[in-house]
């Protein structure tokens, strides 16, 4: 589980969210730039969680979409899983 929780994409998205929360504490008004920053953060966290889910699925030998960033490694992961199960 640590492998998934401490992935670099997920950690950077969480740190970005903390930075945005700190910006909300200031007395500045909410502008369109702030809204875009929150939208960007939401997309980043979604992509990071999706990569973690795809990695977990690939390690368990399940199929993943070909547009996933894990797809090139999925064949290696699937092969190693198959080799372990045959032992």
Q: Each residue of 37-75: pLDDT tens digit? A: 999 999 999 988 888 888 888 777 777 777 777 777 777
Mean pLDDT score, 33-38: 91
With helix as H, strand as E and coil as C, how does the chain read?
CHHHHCCHHHHHHHHHHHHHHHHHHCCCCCCHHHHHHHHHHHHHHHHHHHHHHHHHHHHCCCCCCCCCCCHHHHHHHHHHHHHHHHC
Residue 32: pLDDT band (50, 70, 90) is very high
Q: Which pLDDT score, from 0 to 100, does residue 42 have?
A: 94
2-23 confidence digits (pLDDT tens): 666 677 788 888 899 998 888 8
């Amino acid at each position: 589980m640590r492998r998934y929780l401490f992935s670099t994409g997920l950690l950077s998205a969480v740190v970005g969210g903390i930075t945005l929360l700190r910006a909300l504490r200031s007395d500045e008004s909410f502008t369109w730039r702030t809204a875009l920053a929150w939208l960007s953060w939401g997309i980043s966290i979604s992509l990071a969680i999706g990569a973690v889910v795809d990695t977990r699925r690939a390690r368990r030998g399940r199929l993943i979409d070909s547009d996933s960033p894990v797809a090139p490694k999925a064949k290696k992961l699937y092969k190693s899983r198959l080799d372990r199960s045959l032992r």
